[in-house]
Amino acid sequence: MTQTHDNSTDNLEQKLAEFEQKIADEQKIEPSDWMPEAYRKNLIRQMSQHAHSEVIGMQPEGNWITRSPSLRRKAILLAKVQDEGGHGLYLYSATETLGITRSEMIEALQTRQAKYASIFNYPTLSWADIGAVGWLVDGAAIVNQISLQRTSYGPYSRAMIRICKEESFHQRQGYELMYEMAKGSAEQKQMAQDALNRFWWPSLMMFGPHDTDSAHSAQSMKWKIKRETNDDLRQKFIDQTVPQIEVLGLEMPDPELKWNEERGHYDSGEIDWEEFKQVINGNGPCNHQRLKHHIKAHEDGEWVREAVRAYRAKQKPQADNQVA
Ligand code: FAQ
């Protein structure tokens, strides 16, 4: 073994020790800091999938913009869907700091190498679904993202702080819509109940598999990429949402939802993990439609990228005119 090799091994060990010390001290890891390759890859995986979820997540709600029942509701929904697009953009930018380009991430999404949140593969069948998405889907997203505000990677953490502020408005508008429906006519109440029944289980699936089956949790918790486990976050969501269902006066979507005095939490029934597996592997009700729409929108936007490339080439003929 050569002297140089010994030195570089020592150097690597020292860098790793410094990295781990920073994590232990709750310091953020920044793009210019040294980081283990596996930390970088795991972050690219999670953050890019998070970005894709925000962008694909615009589709189920976008479906109802032209059919909103009032100008007020339309303005709210438009603003919300635009916010989700913005969240996707912060997250793509934050992920780019790890050394991957936007076009590589988009390609991974479109070729199914990268996932996006399973929930967005379910259809929005009625106007009440828009309430359920805001209340339950954004509600679940916030529980997860509040925890991610403390993630160890600086750009991700800062993106989460900003995104959470907007998500809480999203959750509130969804709950207010559900409240109006649930307190409205018998037919409206039935629509609200149906939306709750259909979105409840997919919302619980947003937190991922049980901790015992989660491939990435142990390492992600060690590196403080994730700060709370899938099951702990899911329980938090259940505990905060059941009293909201009671206020709405709707029936529980799961007959096993019962307060457990001893645990200090609600008990709940088991998720259909076979359905979850099918949906994350591309076989949910809308997987095909969601990707097809994304690919078409991306292709339709090619003229914008082409114009940016032409403009750049004019400004700096010698510059790399690659546009993501
Ligand atoms: N859907 O080992 P784990 C939103 C995959 S934002 C699809 O436990 P991890 C805002 C997982 O990727 C919603 N795939 O994974 C909005 C992995 O596969 P891989 C998005 C899932 O990463 C509202 C495999 O299973 N939020 O909704 C899901 O440690 C309304 C093994 O799982 C985020 O992305 C799933 N539900 O924990 C927008 C938050 N669960 O990559 C529009 C950030 C698991 O090896 C409208 N992400 N998988 O091929 C996270 O916190 C984590 O990535 C988890 C999964 C908790 C989602």
**Cα 78 from Cα 67, distance rounded (Å):** 12
Q: Is the dihedral of CA 155, 158, 163, 166 positive or negative?
A: negative
Q: Write the residue with the smallest CA distance to atom 3 of ligand 1.
A: 214
Answer whether 294 contacts ligand 1 (Cβ < 6 A).
Answer: no
- Best mutation site among 216, 224, 226, 273 for ligand 1, i.e. most ligand atoms within 8 A of its Cβ? 216
- Centre of ligand 1 to C-alpha 230, Å, is 10
Atom of ligand 1 nearest to the CA of 47: 43
**Exposure of 287 by Cβ count < 10 A (0-12 exposed, 13-18 middle, 19+ buried)?**
buried
- C-alpha of residue 280 to centroid of ligand 1, in Å: 10
| C-alpha 274 – ligand 1 centre gap (Å) | 16
208 CA from centroid of ligand 1 (Å): 6
Check pocket membership of 92 for ligand 1, CB cut-off 6 A. Answer: no
Q: How far apart are CA 268 and CA 207, in angstroms?
A: 15
54: nearest Cα among 177, 144, 176, 151: 144
Q: What is the largest CA-CA distance in the chain?
A: 81
- Listed in sequence order, the DSSP H helices in the chain are 3-24, 37-56, 58-62, 71-96, 102-110, 127-132, 139-148, 154-182, 186-205, 217-222, 230-248, 273-278, 287-300, 302-315
- As a residue count, the chain comes to 324
The Cα angle at residue 288 between residues 284 and 292, in degrees rounded to 5:
150
One pLDDT digit (tens) per residue for the chain, 324 residues: 333 445 577 899 999 999 999 999 999 999 999 999 999 999 999 999 999 999 999 999 999 999 999 999 999 999 999 999 999 999 999 999 999 999 999 999 999 999 999 999 999 999 999 999 999 999 999 999 999 999 999 999 999 999 999 999 999 999 999 999 999 999 999 999 999 999 999 999 999 999 999 999 999 999 999 999 999 999 999 999 999 999 999 999 999 999 999 999 999 999 999 999 999 999 999 999 999 999 999 999 999 999 999 999 999 766 555 655
d(CA 145, CA 207): 11
